[in-house]
Each structure stands twice: as structure tokens, then as C-alpha cells.
Structure 1
């Protein structure tokens, strides 16, 4: 039992997510329970509007939970300081980049912010980590380019490199393949898979690319209206979890090939 617990890096227990105002509380999803293991690629999927982004924002402490608890490295995130959290968890969100005039190297170097002094000076160790992060996502040749000169696919790789430079146990990405063509969607997700294998980091991402996630993920979290499942893709398929993910009038899930097809 102790061996199993030692590999659990992120855990949610009886979690309820949503929005609270002075007048009312809006519950998006409740009774959320899962345990995520270290060194895995984990895909979060579900229909539009089901609450994937709300769940991610809650897990990264951007949005408070309505109830329940979230533990990172066996410590409740509510008792973890912002500084300590930034050394354990890095984030790649879908918001537009506000610093596109920076060079690729400068943007990736921002990932070292939790470790630098108040002036932000980089040490030799910091620069080494930045160079390694650039190399890990194969963008060393872009290091002197300005971010506004990059394609969407290149910029996404830069953001992943910045998260790597932050050197955290967990990386969370909200829809990292948005605005990318099919080739680059597959490229980014395969890159994330490769990074988990090479670095031992846990990478959690939300996505609409369910077919690709089934092929590449070690574990998947599937959100439905009143349920949440967390398991290996093969187990989720055998349990029929994907069969009722969407209305059956237009698409159906084919268990034999593990993807969706038009009815």
C-alpha cells in the first residue's frame, strides 16, 4: 500500500467545482475523485461545456474549489504557498501571449522565475536548464527569434519549453492543440508523451482530440454530466465509457478500432 501511495503525485477527493458569488453557488461537477501517478501522460476529455477547464483551473489553484480537497505531493494545495506551488506545478494555458516581443530564449527563461532572485538574474545553472529545455522540444534553432514571428505550432513548443524550464513535477496544459492542424496536433501530443518518458514528469492536458489521447495516454480522465472516470484507455473502452460520451444520433464509438466514426 505504501508503494502505491508513493507514486501518487496529484489527488482529488470528494471535489466539487464551480463558481460562487455572494448570492448563489453554481456547481459544474461534484463527487470528483482520482489519483494520478508520477511519470504519466494523462488526458482530460469530455463534451464541450462539461467543465474541463474549470477542473484544471481548480487543480492549479487559480479557481477555488467549492468543497473537497486537492493534494500535490501528499500536501493540500490550500496550505501550499504560491512560491512552493510554482516549484512543483507549471501551467500552459490557452490565453493569448502578452509578451510576443520577447525572444524565444527570453520567454523560456521566464520559467526560471520561481528560482531567481528578486532582480530575476539567471545563474549558470538557470541558463543550462533553459538550453536543455529548448533542446528537449527541438527548438534550439529558434532561440533568437521573436515570438511574434512564430507559427502557432512553434509557439506551443516554446510554451512547453518554458514549463520544462520551470522544472516542476507536474505540467498542466489546457487544450495544447487548439488552432493546430492534424499533423501538429499529433506532433504536440506525441512530444508530451516523449517528455513523460524522458523526464519522469507527470503531464496532464485537456483536449478534444479524444482519438489521439486514447492512443497516447497512460491514463485518461473522462468527464460526463454526472460522472467522472479515471483509468487506462483500454479499461475505459472495455467499460463502455466512450460509448455514451456524445449523443448517438451523429457519431458512435467503435470499440474494435478505438475511435469515433460518423454514424
Structure 2
């Protein structure tokens, strides 16, 4: 039996998130206490506009927390220099990339920027890391294609490969299944599940694909109007957490099928 304690990659303590403008502070959520463990796939779910993107922006230092702390590998995230942070955390956003004239290899190679010298010269180790990332995401045959030639699903795999090439303990993805059909939504999330296990990296993603997240995630962070709760999908179901996600007049959670159904 393996009794080793899990390694905590990211931890928040009494975190409050929101916005400050013209000396006015607007809190979206408070008392957020989550722990992301090494090698886990973690899904962040909640209704539209509830604050998922704000939480991700705060975790990634795009905006400052209102209160509380965020630690990565036991160090306060605010104490990282930008280059240091890029070596422990990689980010995949939903925005369309502006460099579609690059080849797949060239785009994935951008993930090595924290490690290359000031003129961007790649070493043999960099090339190995890029090719490994292409292999891990099953796109090695696309390496010489231009990004504008790719489908949305292929491009999403390229972006994941770039994050893998960056070789960080933590990968954060903001809605990686946006614009994908049902098959490719499942494919991308299944790929993330396998990568978390094979690479022992912690992968956090936000998504509206709650049913898929319940099936595939080790841990889920549920963002509701009342609170932010983190636990295994099984415990979240057991504790009735999914009942609080949506108004009950139209959608309800079915405990037998572990899915949401329309009344």
C-alpha cells in the first residue's frame, strides 16, 4: 500500500477575488481554500459569469487577489519573478492565437522561451522537449504544418503541446473545449486526463462540460453563488453540491446517471 502524502502544487488560503476600480472594491468570491495535488486533473466548473475566469486570472497573477494568499510549490506566487513563474506554471487561454503563420513546431517551441538564451537559441534539450510534447499530444505528424491549416481540435492540441514543452509542474487551461464538437470535447479532456497521469503534472481547466468533468476529473472545484467548494466528484455528488449550481426550475442533477437533465 502506498501511504505517501500527496504533493501540493498549488494552495490558496482565505483567498478573495474580485476587482478594484476608482477606490471601490467589488468582491466576487471569498474564503477560497483549495489544494491542487501533483498528477491530478482538476476541473473548475460553474454557471456563466459566476467568476471562473476571474479565479484563473488571479491564480495566474494576471490580476491581484483582494485578500488571502496563493502558493505554488510552497512559495507565495507574488514572490516569483516573471521568468521564475513561467518555469512552474503554464497557461493556455481561449483567445485565438495571432501567430497562425507559424508551423506547429515553431508554435510549440514558444513554450521553451523561459529556458532559451536572450536571442532564443534552442539547445538539444529544447528540441527534445518540443518533440516529446508533440508525441504526447499525438500531433508529431503535424509538426511541419502551418497553424492556419489546422482544425480547431488540432490547434487546441498544439496549444496543449506548447504548455507541455514549457515543462511546468502546473498547467492551467481556460475553457479548452470551446468551439469543439462533442467528440473533440471528450477527446481533449480525455487527453488531459492521460497527460496528468503520464507526466505527473497538475492540470487545472475551466469548463462548461460538467458531465464530462464528473467522469474524468480527480478533483473538481465547484463555483456557486454561495461558495467555492473543492473535492472529488464522488464526494461532491454525495454532499449535494451540484444541486446548487443552477436554478431548479429547468435543470436538475440526476444522482442515478450523475448527469444534469432538463425537466
TM over 0.5: yes
Q: 1:118 Cα shift?
A: 0.4
Q: 2-side partners of 1:108 and 1:132: how far apart?
A: 11
Q: 2-side partners of 1:260 and 1:50: how far apart?
A: 18
Q: Deviations over 1:163-218 (max 9, x none)?
A: 00000000000000000000000000000000011000000000000000000000
Match of 1:212 in 2: 212
Q: What is the CA RMSD across the aligned residues, in angstroms?
A: 1.1
Would you say 1:236 and 2:228 are equivalent positions?
Answer: no
Q: 1-side partners of 2:104 and 2:35: how far apart?
A: 35
**How many residues are matched?**
261
Q: 2-side partners of 1:5 and 1:80: how far apart?
A: 26
Match of 2:32 in 1: 32
Q: 2-side partners of 1:72 and 1:167: how far apart?
A: 15
Match of 1:255 in 2: 255
Could you say if the C-alpha distance between residues 31 and 5 of structure 1 is closer, same or farther in structure 2, counting changes exceeding 3 Å? farther
Gaps of 5+ in 1: none
Q: 1:23 Cα shift?
A: 3.0
Match of 2:95 in 1: 95
Misfit runs of 4+, over 2 Å: 3-6
Match of 2:165 in 1: 165
Q: 2-side partners of 1:244 and 1:11: how far apart?
A: 24
Q: Deviations over 1:39-94 (max 9, x none)?
A: 10000000111100000010011111111000000000001111111000000001
Q: Deviations over 1:118-165 (max 9, x none)?
A: 000110110011001000000011101111111100000000000000
Q: Aligned with 2:129: secondary structure?
A: helix
Q: 2-side partners of 1:56 and 1:4: how far apart?
A: 29
Q: Aligned with 2:138: secondary structure?
A: coil
Question: TM-score, normalized by length of structure 1?
Answer: 0.97
Question: TM-score, normalized by length of structure 2?
Answer: 0.97
Match of 1:7 in 2: 7
Gaps of 5+ in 2: none
